[in-house]
Structure 1
Amino acid sequence: MSKSNKFMSTNTSSNNDVYTSSHPYVNTNIITKNHNAFINRVDNLRNNIKKLIIILLVIFLICPSVPVGSAYNSSYFNIPDNSYTIVKGIVEENNPDLGYITLYNEDGTGITDSYQRPWVLRTYNYIDPDEIEVFRNNAEASIYDIEAGDTVFIMLGNDGTLLSISAASNYILKYGKVISKRASYLAVELDDGTQQDFELDSRVLVIESGMLTDINSLKSGDRVKLLLQVTDKKTIIKEITISARGLNISNVYKGVIYKVDQVLNKLILRNVQVLQRDSWKRIEQKGFVSMKLSDEFKSFYNNQLVSLDKINSNLRNNEVYVAAGKDFGNDEKAVLVSFRKKDDKEVLYNDEITRFSPNFTRVFLKLRSGSIGISEETIIVDNGKLVPAGAARINEKAYIVANRDYRTGNYNAGIIYINDRYNEYMPQIYRGRIKSIEEEESITLYTFSQLKGLDWEYYNTPKTFNITYDTRILGEEGIIRTEDFVGYGDESYVDKVVYIVADGVDSILISTAPYGTINVRGEIYKIERAQNEQGVPTEEVTEISIKNAKVYSSDTYLWESKDLIDLSLLKNTVIIKNNKVVDSSQLKKGDIIRAVKKDVTRDGDAYIIIVEE
């Protein structure tokens, strides 16, 4: 078939469906609402095959009462055997390798056998994909370009041979903010205020700053643009563009609200304190403190959103909690304000979150009996991000600021602050490939990742660390002398990947231990030590066994119980205890540790060990 045979295009005029075509046997304007008129015209033009082909095409294109996606044979219409058949539907599957395409109807029906009729064919076969004429979105294409979810018109020969396909992608754009991400779905708050869960699969493209990135780079609070393929049967995410990162929460404050300056777009407070661990500390600035409002600023009173006018007219001189984040200019902006009732009694907890209620209105703690209420006005910060309760981690340490209702005696959380305790004063851990080494002076990485909580956060920029008199360097065989750590010759370390534990820009430890991404946690109950030549145990630990073990799943974002795990220690395993780099001899029975290892297998080598308690 010649490539000049194209399908008709569709326009809308008033309430009529208008179809135009460049085909020499088709009028340029054909307008109708009733397909019965066209069936009559088919009978009148039965002897003119060329006109009949086009009339059939029009019937299938514009008549809603004709079953969508149906294949009508010539006997059904009483037309000659050398006619063509046009079918329409949504692509369920297209498999060029096996040579078939399967359709279902626009309303989602036509998949089950119960729907089928003798004259309805759902799967159409083809032999040579290169011989099929294909148009997609008004441009020449290949059969390989036809995707699941596309709307298609298929022209079949009198023997059922697939001759030509015209397809259109069912794509729409939506904008919103990520609420949470799990292994198989993405929860997004759309700009129209609705919340929707979208299925995820490994084929979803994720783009940030014009570059492809990994699906795991999506974080709660990120602004996203979603390219969706929408049909009545399902909605598929084809592409996610990260347009802006969620604002990191730098501090949570408590203060008395003076007013909101709507001209300067600022919140003005007095008697301001900042939450530091499980207590409030006065800030250095005395008197009034002003803070700009972020673009996503919200304020709540008694679980209700309140406007800036309402704050100024009725809620001044009330105490509030304020979640603040820094912008690119390093200025703090108010993101969320939650009013507290002055007659309620404030209580602070230093505890561990064990679970949330199914509807996320209660939180349960490890040490405290009973539960604490949570609501939309509760400020929940997890790993530096403002998140809803459904996105917050469990089995994690948290500081909770609760208020006891003076009327009911019930406790409600004003603030839940989840963080990794060992990160508060601990030196930072980096990983990257060595770009250059200045002997006994410095080491520079091409790019680097920084361990933040349970994740490695990637930075596409070089970073240089000082090599000081206190820097230790560990290789596969143990300690490497500083003078042997060079960037030239056969023993060059350039292009090797290393961990760097640093205090600011000063490297404390450089290790060539392998790369790990899997986190495990548990309590040390057994320690195996190396033996000297006489068979006497030394202080060096070669293996630890942990009980009450859990493995963190990056798919479900939950800790999964594994009971007992054995971890082998390498010569270059990084060990941190009491916020200091230590050797293996400092590990003791009863230590609560988190380790980073290679994979999710039960046992294995520990590349990083951090003693949490």
Structure 2
Amino acid sequence: MKKIFILILALTLLSSVFTYGNINQVYRQGFVEGYLREPLKETLEIESYEGGIYSLPLSPNTIYTIDSQPVNASNFMAGMEVYAQIEGRKVVAVEGYSTSSLGYISPGSKIRTGRISRIDRNQLVLKLATGVEETFLTMPGTITLKDGKNVSLDTLYVGDRVKLHFDEVNTNIISRISIEGDSIRIKGLYKGKLNFVDGYGDKITISDVQHLNNGSWKQLSASMTIPYNKQSPLYVGGYSVSYDNLKYYRGKTVYLAMKDFFGRDQVERMVVQSQYESTYSDKIQDINWFTGGFELKNNRNIGFHDGTIVIKNDRLVDNFALSVKSDVFVVADGRGMDSSADVVYVLNEEVNNSNIGQHYIYAGRMNQIVEDRLWLKDFFLLEENEWQSFEGEKELFFDNDTDIYDLTNNKKITIKEFYSGDYAVDESSRYAKDQRLKDWHSYVYTDGDRISAIMVQKNMDSLLRQRVTNGIISSVTNDNLVGWGISIKNARDWSSRRSQWMEKNADLQVNLEKALLIKDGKQIEPYDLKAGDRMYLIRNDFYGKVLIVK
């Protein structure tokens, strides 16, 4: 009886080691790679590199190779690393690696995982787990995947955690990029008094919990117990300390960069306040990388260190992501003129995520439309968050994948309806005069000179009244009287006079009934938006005109 109990206990413990993966995710991406758990029979039993366990049916015509050499299924041994290609929910090819032939790898088998520290057009600088940085190159054929979907390279942000795949051993040219999902995004910035440290469970209890909201600290809760990430460094007063000493800082203020970890809050980065807190919201005027400090526009000099929590685009980034002219919210720690930054929150947002992107927003009168292109006359271009006017014409191209929306008649239209309609006419012609026709106006979102989405309307808006706003959607509503709208927290308006993002001190309400909504280069509907989405918005006071989900 005792032996049976021990056997059951052992099996229970063994099963708890493994987690069964999302089989639909594997089917969508069309491959899985990892460790073979059992010899091949009718199914492929595999543990993916991420830890998921999968049982996949083998096709009768499955192709088997080891080190690119054709073999029989019986040649595959448990524990061998394999790559399986999937079509029609069956494994059609299995590639094994004996590690004896190191001169060749099958396409996509060389892998590097890390966090993007810099983006410079076709160059990605990746910070590996070892702390070493390596530079890799993209090419026009580089495949970019996020949540199993093929996306554009310009969706990458500094701070994204990625897995890079290569087709050759001795190359730095990326064949495929897998972007980690929203789990890498910072959910919020908290602070509180450290009350208790559970060194065994890696948890802390803090009191007087506040979170950064609308440019200031707002009360969140009286107390909170949360797990922390012991793999990230812990800093006090600019110096790295061991987590074993964290318990000695009870009563001190801690700053916490929080993330969502499988539906629960977790501390991703933590800094303990050393002296006294000061906060600043200003523009960086100069950076001295040698001494490790920056000067704000108000001439205040603030140091930074390896433990400074730097947040940009809701992602943790390195200090080197800071740049002159960045608008920042700074939490400084020190006394008098001698202070260093515990937290730097970068407020900037642009149409493009990096210099990889070539997305533009135009507004103007449509002077001529033919089957695959149009010309805007005396148009406007949103440049550095401000409308710039241009004389003459701008030629733009559209295709079958372009989204076209007629705002005046509240409907999507086809390409044929677009170029054969009266959206652009010869206003001097007798026909146009008799029918009282005028050229329509448009808002255009492009990828280079290609129109991704366009919204057309009879009358032009007053661009002078418009402003550019960025922030985070806190709620999406559909009111019976006013229609779809959103509430925005941590909102900032661009000030042309100050050339600076100005934080708002309350949530902002915006109506989206007459707005062009863009996500991943495509037009979406208001119900596709969700709380937590970061966005870049052109609005006319209460009414949104163009919204881009970031």
| TM-score, normalisation: structure 2 | 0.46
| TM-score, normalisation: structure 1 | 0.41
Higher Rg: 1
Q: Which has the higher contact order (CA 8 A, sep 6+)?
A: 2
